[in-house]
Amino acid sequence: MGLRPVFIGGCGRSGTTLLGAMLGSHPKCLTTPEAKFNTFGYLKSRHEGGKVDLQEALAKIRTHWSSHTFGVNLELDEFLGSQPCGSYADLVLWIVEQYGRKMGKPQPAIWIDHTPSNISYANLLFELYPNAKLIHLVRDGRAVAASVMKLDWGPNTVDNSAQWWVHEVANGFAAELQQGPERVMRVRYEDLVNEPVSALQKISTFLDLDYVEDMVNGVGFRVPAFASQGHTRIGSRPDASRIGGWRSELSARQIEIIEHIAGNLLLCLGYDLLYGAYARHMTSTERLSAISVDLYRRVTNNLHRQIRRARAVAARGDTYVLKTAAQSDRL
């Protein structure tokens, strides 16, 4: 059957890297860095009729910053020489297999890609990889907001964070409904952290894998250096005491604003509300203040992000253009 892809997706800061590291601990699974170049390379090289020029596709992949985190050689002649014919999916899987050999897993049965934006490209991914499965990972939107606003990517304000979470979870619901439970499984981050053994056993059944105890410790993935600051707990057993951290990290007013925007969806996913129907919307003054913060953070965050990605590629030893990283940030 060849290498079978398993895509983990969901709103950013929902634990996709944690789950990727857990599944990567299985001897049959290989977890790679986020392969954001996957959909990017296809969409940028697809022509009329859906045909893809592999040389053009590889050139596009090479320009995407995420391909450098794999640290492998991307030469078309090597790919064409490795098999009699090839598709775009074969090209990406060839890159994954190279990474596996580099990491000491030369013949994995399953490729685990934990790119959060997979949830937005579910239909395309199933079109490219018919034997794939998708795990939709969800996390309390208040916790997501508390986490992402500290970082140099993603929404910078509480209202934008809540709207972003709603949008991404909606994409996950759409994938679940369209593809069905045999191809898409929803997992709550809180269940994964509170009861990791039970959650991983269910996930293993969904993926046709035997459960392995080492999965709980999440040691199956080494976070690239440029992203390590945002994933300091990868490689450790989940800490359930951190689940409710948003209650102290967010102000009462921030929690109220999130619940006004996302309260119905939070309830739908089983999360209790503090304000419920009494949550008040943002005032005009609060909205103007949020816009000012957002504009300032967009400028400073973009600079910080470019510097981190440039360092990632410099460590790989390849040339890199900062503009490329900024342009491909959302892909």
CA–CA separation, 168 and 118 (whole Å): 10
Q: For residue 268, count other CB atoms closer than 10 A to its CB.
A: 11
- Residue 330, pLDDT > 50, answer no
Neighbouring-strand partners of residue 31: 112
- Residue 321, pLDDT > 50, answer no
**Using one digit for the tens of pLDDT, what is the confidence trace for 177-211?**
999 999 999 999 999 999 999 999 999 999 999 99
CA–CA separation, 20 and 109 (whole Å): 15
CA–CA separation, 55 and 47 (whole Å): 13
Contact 31, 221 (CB under 8 A): yes
Helices (H), the chain: 16-23, 37-45, 54-63, 65-68, 76-80, 88-102, 122-128, 141-148, 158-179, 189-194, 196-206, 246-249, 252-268, 284-316, 322-327
Give the angle subtended at the CA of 86 by the CAs of 39 and 3, to the nearest 5°.
70
Q: Look up the pTM and report it.
A: 0.88
For residues 45 and 318, the model is more confident at 45
CA nearest neighbour of 135 among 3, 6, 5: 6
How much of the chain, in percent, has pLDDT values that exceed 70? Answer: 88
**Using one digit for the tens of pLDDT, what is the confidence trace for 109-162?**
999 999 999 999 999 999 999 999 999 999 999 999 999 999 888 899 999 999
Q: Tell me the residue type at 249.
A: E
Q: What pLDDT is recorded for position 78? A: 79
Q: What is the dihedral of CA 309, 310, 314, 315, to 10 degrees?
A: -30
Q: What pLDDT is recorded for position 228? A: 52
Going from the N-terminus, what domains does the chain have, and what CATH number goes with each?
4-327 (3.40.50.300)
**Using one digit for the tens of pLDDT, what is the confidence trace for 288-307?**
999 989 888 888 878 877 88
* Mean pLDDT computed over every residue of the chain: 88
Contact 140, 190 (CB under 8 A): yes
Q: For residue 290, count other CB atoms closer than 10 A to its CB.
A: 17
